[in-house]
Amino acid sequence: MIYLFVILGTKDYSSDISDNIRFSNEYKDISKNNIYKYVNENAVLNILNGKSGIFLMAFPSNIWSHYYADYLNEIAIKNDIKEIYYYNFLQNRNLNNKTYDVIINKLKEYLVYNDLGKLDLTSPTIVIVKEGKVIYFDDEIRNIKGGTKPEEYFTDYRKNVIKNSIDVAIKEYLK
């Protein structure tokens, strides 16, 4: 009996769940018909070093990430994109992961310094990379100050501006 509990307790049940279901479970307002694929920091770095891909760099505890995830997914599906890479960088940032630091260095021309004087990635950030070159970078939310709530910020006009911006970038990516 104890042996059975040990085996059941060490089994990784999350590996049995597809990425789109897992994403929908973390981002409750995103449909299970999403195209998000979980990647780690090494996969991000690999793409930044010469490959191509569309990223959402975020984490679910940031409410703004839910809005960006929804808009990006909608526009990507409309453009027949098969997958969006999802990189939850929170743990890597908190642990001062060396590969995360290399990613920050590769994106340094797009980032700003935080209150501690260190370059940092903010959540959410959308990055589109084509053959190792960043062709789109959006972390607009970092500029929002005060107690602004996403539902107040994302007026129809702003939603359309963000979606249009993503759409133009994806079309460029597909060329």
Report the pLDDT averaged over residues 155-172. Answer: 97
Position 162 pLDDT exceeds 90: yes
Q: According to DSSP H, which parts of the chain are helical? A: 2-10, 19-26, 41-48, 63-78, 90-94, 98-106, 150-153, 156-174
Q: How far apart are CA 123 and CA 70, in angstroms?
A: 14
Q: Is the peptide bond before 124 cis (omega within 30 degrees of 0)?
A: yes
For residues 101 and 121, is the Cβ–Cβ distance under 8 A?
no
For residues 59 and 122, is the Cβ–Cβ distance under 8 A?
no
Identify the CATH class of 17-174. Answer: alpha beta
- The reply to whether the predicted model has a pTM over 0.85 is yes
Q: 122 φ, ψ to 5°?
A: -110, 160
What confidence score (pLDDT) does residue 120 get? 87
Query: Which of residues 113 and 39 earns the better pLDDT score?
Result: 39
Report the pLDDT averaged over residues 129-136. Answer: 97
3-class SS of residue 171: helix
What contacts 24+ positions apart, CB below 8 Å, involve 95-101?
Answer: 97/41, 99/41, 99/42, 99/45, 100/41
